[in-house]
Amino acid sequence: MKTAVFSARRYDKSMLADANRDAGHELVFFEDRLSAATAPLAAGCEAVCVFVNDSVDAEVLAILATQGTRLVATRSTGYNQIDTAAAAQHGIAVVRVTDYSPYSVAEFAVGLLLAVNRKIARASARTRDGNFDLEGLMGFDLHGKTVGVIGTGKIGAIFARIMLGFGCTVLGYDPYPSAAFEALGARYVPVGELLSRSDVVSLHCPLTEQTRHIVNGDSLARAKRGSVLINTSRGGLIDTEAAIGALKTGQLGGLAIDVYEQEANLFFQDLSSTIICDDVIQRLVSFPNVIVTGHQAFFTVEAIGQIMQTTIASLTAFERGEELVNRVPPA
Ligand code: NAD
């Protein structure tokens, strides 16, 4: 099946091509992001394959539909970049990758926590410069601390299990509590209690209308003073300006994010030789107690391999008229 693959980086091209070896779909790669301006590139493609920062809104879907696209396959778990109601109106099916190494993201969240708490990136930068001074590098033991997990699905549960292994008390908040999470030895509490008791809060819920800015000025004011916030989920979960305000007063003791509200124009590209006009991200990276990574929590050999295999399997199932096991239900 002819498929236009947008936001295709070198690793996307090689690993998707590998996964496609037996299936034989006709893959057409574009490095550009999908948008109303680039949608015409997909003319004649029955399927379009996208990533997290492609824009698959009503305008783009209308263009794709008139050009013959019948399937949108996102190489991600989250699908907040896709207007699923508009897709349904145009008779376009949407598939995602529901299951790929949740360990990749959970382990990265733990890595961010250790890095921001123990100042590992700062220390490494110092020693490269011949500076072996410890001033400013003191962290705290995670053992015995309380960790709050917002969103206790696949990734949140693995993150919780690792933190329990560190000797932490783990609190969870999720509108759909799971017995498996409690069986780990964690405990559900209301979100307000989670914020006020946790030394560390890690976000693992999807971005929806209900969760947009779940971390805002009010919730930060209710949080334990000096607590550390980790976000590997979606940038829109945090009101970034409010987080900057809380960092300035010390209410927020540290912030480590792999995702950023306005990441679409920044991430997945080398901007090191350009002037970055986003003053919010520039302010964020200027804090000594903030770590920003460019949406790489999923980026392991295992996870990418599974993402590509699942995406190709979805294309094949669609072409054959078989059930789409990873179909996103219309909104
Ligand atoms: P999942 O569906 O297994 O779990 C999500 C959990 O969030 C569910 O238990 C759900 O009930 C809960 N939830 C829904 N609304 C909530 C709310 N209002 N408050 C609290 N919890 C709520 O998903 P997952 O596989 O664990 O992935 C979680 C998120 O991680 C994805 O939605 C995606 O945004 C993000 N993610 C990021 C990366 C990355 O590379 N940074 C990679 C994969 C996934």
Q: What is the pLDDT of residues 192-204, one digit of tens each?
A: 999 999 999 999 9
The atom of ligand 1 lying closest to the CA of 211 is 18
pLDDT digits (tens, 9 = 90+) for 274-311: 999 999 999 999 999 999 999 999 999 999 999 999 99
Residue 330 in any domain: the answer is: no
Per the prediction, the chain carries an average pLDDT of: 97
Of all protein residues, whose CA lies closest to atom 35 belonging to ligand 1?
233
153 lines ligand 1 (CB under 6 A): yes
Residue 326 in any domain: the answer is: no
Same domain, yes or no, for 59 and 186?
Answer: no
The atom of ligand 1 lying closest to the CA of 157 is 26
The atom of ligand 1 lying closest to the CA of 99 is 25
234 lines ligand 1 (CB under 6 A): yes
Q: How, if at all, do strands 26-29 and 2-5 pair?
A: parallel
Kindly tell me the burial class for residue 248, based on how many C-beta atoms sit within 10 Å of its own C-beta (0-12, 13-18, 19 or more): exposed
Place 99 in a pLDDT band, splitting at 50, 70 and 90: confident
Q: Which among 10, 88, 1 is positioned nearest to 49, based on CA atoms?
A: 1
Residue 305 in any domain: the answer is: yes
> What local confidence, expressed as pLDDT, does residue 331 receive?
74
What backbone phi and psi angles, to 5 degrees, belong to 148? Answer: -100, 130
Percent of the chain residues past pLDDT 70, beyond the cut: 100
Distance 199 CA to ligand 1 centre (A): 21
Same domain, yes or no, for 106 and 181?
Answer: yes
Of all protein residues, whose CA lies closest to atom 32 belonging to ligand 1?
206
The separation between the first and the last C-alpha atoms of the chain, rounded to the nearest angstrom, is 26
Rounded-to-integer distance, Cα 45 and Cα 4, Å: 6
Same domain, yes or no, for 73 and 195?
Answer: no
Same domain, yes or no, for 277 and 305?
Answer: no
Same domain, yes or no, for 145 and 268?
Answer: yes
258 lines ligand 1 (CB under 6 A): yes
pLDDT digits (tens, 9 = 90+) for 210-238: 999 999 999 999 999 999 999 999 999 99
Whether 2 contacts 47, CB under 8 Å? yes
176 lines ligand 1 (CB under 6 A): yes
Residue 328 in any domain: the answer is: no
> What local confidence, expressed as pLDDT, does residue 276 receive?
96
Residue 52 in any domain: the answer is: yes
Residue 220 in any domain: the answer is: yes
Same domain, yes or no, for 129 and 34?
Answer: no
Same domain, yes or no, for 143 and 284?
Answer: yes
pLDDT value at 258 more than 80? yes
Residue 56 in any domain: the answer is: yes
Residue 325 in any domain: the answer is: no
Same domain, yes or no, for 188 and 155?
Answer: yes
Place 330 in a pLDDT band, splitting at 50, 70 and 90: confident
> What local confidence, expressed as pLDDT, does residue 218 receive?
98
CATH of the domain at 203: 3.40.50.720
297 lines ligand 1 (CB under 6 A): yes
pTM of the model: 0.92
Same domain, yes or no, for 132 and 265?
Answer: yes
Distance 126 CA to ligand 1 centre (A): 35
Same domain, yes or no, for 33 and 109?
Answer: no
Catalytic annotation, residues: 234, 263, 295
Its domain, for residue 57, covers 2-100+300-320
Placement of tokens 């329990």 in the chain = 164
Rounded-to-integer distance, Cα 293 and Cα 222, Å: 26
Q: How many structural domains does the chain have?
A: 2
Same domain, yes or no, for 121 and 243?
Answer: yes
Same domain, yes or no, for 199 and 313?
Answer: no
pLDDT digits (tens, 9 = 90+) for 26-74: 999 999 999 999 999 999 999 999 999 999 999 999 999 999 999 999 9
